[in-house]
Structure 1
């Protein structure tokens, strides 16, 4: 393999999803772009390090790990995260939000005000609304208030998010209804921190941003019916010598939905990090191809390495 790149993950920009690579290179991902790469034959997945520093021992990490970090680097990375409650002196203002991923799948969370909606895009939120904004500790207390009083979780497994994406109600108002009711219940709770400035319910819908409505810039794309192929399976891990090739039909959070046969397969880009990757044979002109382990959504179990899904 002449060229070997290492993926640094997916980020969301104003124009949509962008793959980032170690060394600073980026690859924009417009709808319809063919995502095609091959995992280096004999390649080993190595730890991506922490906080901008390389892993000192280049430790090998499991193929199914979405963190792609060894135990020591994972500990170091989390020790400096807001999620770990180790940054109590952070002076920045924080938003408290409610995010909806599908029926019965709503969570509460916080994100720095300066980040805007990026954190919600990273998580794959279908729609969201701000609850309020204020100092970090006030935001934390509000988050805990909703968990304790209303049973609203602060985490939802990605597998649960993926399972409902292809069966969303087409009406944005219907998608926001559950979120609206919860926002009202949250606002009626006593004991809100005084330093948190409350915000009214203003739902923001990401279905169009993710391409899940089959439209690009307001136009129905090449599928012609305003829909995207149903996601029927997900890549469970990358393996040395494995190949992926498929047109991008949608993306949400870290997930790319790639056309394959009559449906789509979901590739979590976090599984790509740490692997040596190169161009697949045929590149942008190649057909749909997948030689990686996949998990069928219908059966909920992993399949073996195979040449096709359908």
Structure 2
């Protein structure tokens, strides 16, 4: 049997998406690259642990889980998470941003200044603008101000982001319009924390970075990985944790790389199973028509 590798997630570098593997190995993902792997028969998905520590019981986790953690490790990971609002004394400066994922989908969020644009690439933000910079709690208060006063969410499900990718405006000006409009409303609000330094509206567009310009629309998404299943396809685009793979005889299918974590994976050629044999949920015309 071929040696299995464990995926530790998708990262975004200056050159594009990169698959990370346990042990520090990296697989660059240029457009057109053939992506192929399989789960061996008898394979079990195990918890990835938390905060750099292995799961003490190597607990089994469900195939549909995007976190790939057991309840105890998920609790530990969230207990030290800025996103979960459990850290109040982080001394690093933070940025408040507005991110746009498609028509009607804009969110507010915060990210550490030292992370640059990485957080926006990881979320699959098609375009974004910074709002202001300051201490963590000032950024948190600003985020809450926009949520309460303008009804702007701080989270958007990935299913909704995927559903609108086939309907993105061709013009960068059109893609930026909702961010600019919301920015103007946000800076006009009273009650901004004095310690938050406002930043000008400068919209960054990731359509090119994601390879979505002129890319064929996805027809479905992988629901979960299973024993004995595999996938092989050509990478046509990517956004956030999602790889858009052109699979022979199937068209373009979205693979959420978070579903890969916790599995021992082998090259697909070693499995003897071509194409795509993981369960797939087809996108419907009704879904596409909602937007």
Q: Same fold (TM over 0.5)?
A: yes
Q: Do residues 280 (structure 1) and 268 (structure 2) align?
A: yes
- Cα distance in 2 for partners of 1:7, 1:30 equals 18
Instruction: Give runs of aligned pairs for residues 96-107 of structure 1, distance below 5 A.
Output: 96-107=96-107
**Do the aligned partners of residues 282 and 31 (structure 1) sit closer, same or farther apart at CA in structure 2, a change above 3 Å counting?**
farther
Distance 1:2 1:48, change over 3 A: same
Deviation at 1:297, TM superposition (A): 1.1
What is the aligned partner in structure 1 of residue 32 from structure 2?
Answer: 32
Identify unmatched segments of 5+ residues in structure 1: 214-226, 302-310
**Offset, 1:83:** 1.3
Aligned to 1:270: 258
Matching of residues 7-26 of structure 1 within 5 Å: 7-26=7-26
CA displacement at 1:263 relative to structure 2: 2.8
The normalised TM-score by structure 1 is 0.90
Task: State the alpha-carbon separation in 2 of the partners of residues 185 and 262 from structure 1.
Answer: 44
Aligned to 1:41: 41
Return the offset for 1:288: 7.0
Residue matched to 2:116: 116
* 2:245 corresponding residue in structure 1: 258
Which residues in structure 2 correspond to 1:72-151 (within 5 Å)?
A: 72-151=72-151
RMSD: 1.6
Counterpart for residue 227 of structure 2 = 240
Q: Is the 8 A contact 1:245 1:280 kept in 2?
A: yes
Q: Secondary structure at the match of 1:180?
A: helix
Cα deviation 1:113-161 (Å, max 9, x = unaligned): 0101000000000000000000000000000000000000000000000
**1:230 corresponds to which residue?**
217
In the alignment of these two chains, the number of paired residues is: 286
- Report the Cα offset of residue 299 of structure 1: 6.5
Q: Equivalent residue of 1:291, what SS?
A: coil
Please point out which of 272, 284, 288 is paired with 1:298.
284
Residue 193 of structure 1 is matched in structure 2 by: 193
